[in-house]
Amino acid sequence: MKKDLVSISDLTKEEIDYLLKKASHFKAEPKSDLLKGSILATLFFEPSTRTRLSFESAMYRLGGSVIGFSNANITSIKKGESLIDSIKVIGSYADLLVIRHPDEGSARLAAESTHIPVMNGGDGSNQHPTQTLTDLFTIQECQGKIDGLHIALAGDLKYGRAIHSLCLALAHYSVRLYLIETESLPLPQAITDELKKKGVKFSFHKSLDEVMPKIDILYMSRIQKERFEETSTHFHNNCTLKKSQLGAAKKTLRILHPLPRVDEIEKSIDATPFAYYFEQAANGVPTRMAILADLKK
């Protein structure tokens, strides 16, 4: 049976750890011809910088080639073709497919519509599993481990797909989670239930300052404005991280952010040793090399 990566829950802890190990191999050895002759199709129905380009870079680094689009308005979807029909056809042009789409469940639908492996590059506010593997790899890289860490997640817990997948993945490890909720943007109940079911220790907080001295990783995220009405009061981000707040932090704290950043992290923090989000973005390439190589086997 073909493998897909639609939800982070598709992977066992052993499979996650295996992919992280493969990613560190590709980080050390970034050139390979493992996927020579193979084609990746990149189908991006929503804006993307890192996910699409790091997938493309990963595929080229593995010796493969890329076809695809980042503007669905110039495809036959615009003429009224269904996603299923498009995927069926594209599946006969490529060996692997990555899709980003605004509808939750679209990546699952794509996976069911083709015989080639499908990776979810973000489906609405649901899941973003390849970002999560990048995040786990980065956490392990900057802290030397995942188990035992105290991790705060802040920003848009409601619509942030990167947050959702990361929470589910961290439930495999023995971590302590601090969830900093932005007003009106709470973590979905299904994720809270999963954390409880897995016995993860977690608590909700209104302010970052309450937890700052305890944490090893601070995962910031952007308010997902495109996922709710223009008139909504959610627009106001009350969770901007200021350099002055880091006075209370451990020296070894590292700040992550899936990017793009809007106003969640003061720019002056970039030059401090706490900032690790650009390294995190760079890690998207070796991590996605590991994913591509594994799914194409």
On the CB side of 206, CA atoms within 13 Å amount to 1
Task: Work out how close the CB of 70 gets to ligand NCD at its nearest, in angstroms, rounded to a whole number.
Answer: 13
Name the residue nearer to ligand NCD (CB basis): 14 or 230.
230
Stretch that binds ligand NCD, among 101-109, 200-208, 258-266, 272-280 (CB under 6 A): 258-266
Indicate the Cα dihedral angle 179, 184, 186, 189, nearest 10°: 160
| Strands, E assignment, 16-61 | 39-44
Name the residue nearer to ligand NCD (CB basis): 66 or 249.
66
Name the residue nearer to ligand NCD (CB basis): 7 or 38.
7
| DSSP state, residue 186 | P
**162-191: contacts with ligand NCD (CB under 6 A):** 162
**37-76 footprint of ligand NCD as x/- string (CB under 6 A):** -------------xx-------------------------
Can you tell me which of 127, 131, 138, 182 binds ligand NCD, judged by CB under 6 A? 131
State the amino acid at position 200 in one-letter form: V
Q: Is 79 part of the annotated catalytic residue set?
A: yes
| Strands, E assignment, 160-200 | 176-181
User: Which residues are CB-neighbours of 254 under 8 A, at least 6 positions away?
Assistant: 139, 142, 143, 216, 217, 218, 274, 275, 276
The answer to whether 140 contacts ligand NCD (rule: CB under 6 A) is no
The answer to whether 122 contacts ligand NCD (rule: CB under 6 A) is yes
Length of the chain: 297
User: CB–CB of 124/227 below 8 Å?
Assistant: yes
Dihedral of alpha carbons 163, 247, 214, 216, sign:
positive
Q: Is 128 part of the annotated catalytic residue set?
A: yes
Pull the structure tokens for residue 224: 């997902």
Name the residue nearer to ligand NCD (CB basis): 106 or 221.
221
The answer to whether 161 contacts ligand NCD (rule: CB under 6 A) is yes
Catalytic residue among 22, 52, 108, 128: 128
The answer to whether 101 contacts ligand NCD (rule: CB under 6 A) is no
Active site residues: 50-51, 79, 100, 128
List of residues contacting ligand NCD (CB under 6 A): 50-51, 122, 128, 131, 161-162, 221-222, 258-260
